[in-house]
């Protein structure tokens, strides 16, 4: 885990039912990972609802769609809670 991950909360750490805003990607995320996340609509500023997060992956609702991303990728998406 890089120093940026230690300051922000990864998407994979939020419990089911959480509404979060994507803040940024971890600096340890490679270019391919960042491109894939952006292609899925997971860009900074996007509001996301966490349906479930487990050891295998993270199921989320984003921009009207249901998505499942692997745990490793979810750990590289840094978010903040929204009320």
pLDDT value, residue 34: 82
Question: Which residues span the domain enclosing 50?
Answer: 3-81
pTM score:
0.82
Look at the chain and report how many structural domains it folds into: 1
Section 6-35 average pLDDT: 85
Buried b (16+ CB within 10 A) or exposed e, 6-34: eeebbbbbbeeebebebeebbeebeeebb
Top pLDDT among 44 and 83 is at: 44
Q: In what order do the strands lie in the sheet with 9-10?
A: 9-10, 77-81, 19-25, 47-53, 57-62, 65-70
pLDDT at 35 exceeding the cut of 80: yes
Q: What is the CATH number of the domain that holds 30?
A: 2.30.30.90
Is residue 62 within 8 A of residue 41, CB to CB? The reply is: yes
pLDDT tens digit sequence for 46-64: 999 999 877 888 999 998 9
3-state helix, strand, coil in the chain (%, to 5): 25, 40, 35
pLDDT at 23 exceeding the cut of 90: yes
Section 10-29 average pLDDT: 89
């Amino acid at each position: 885990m890089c120093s940026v991950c230690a300051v922000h909360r990864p998407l994979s750490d939020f419990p089911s039912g959480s509404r979060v805003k994507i803040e940024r990607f971890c600096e340890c995320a490679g270019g391919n990972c960042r491109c894939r996340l952006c292609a899925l609509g997971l860009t900074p500023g996007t509001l996301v609802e966490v349906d479930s997060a487990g050891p295998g992956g993270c199921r989320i609702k984003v921009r009207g769609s249901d998505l499942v991303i692997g745990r490793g990728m979810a750990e590289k998406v840094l978010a903040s809670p929204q009320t």
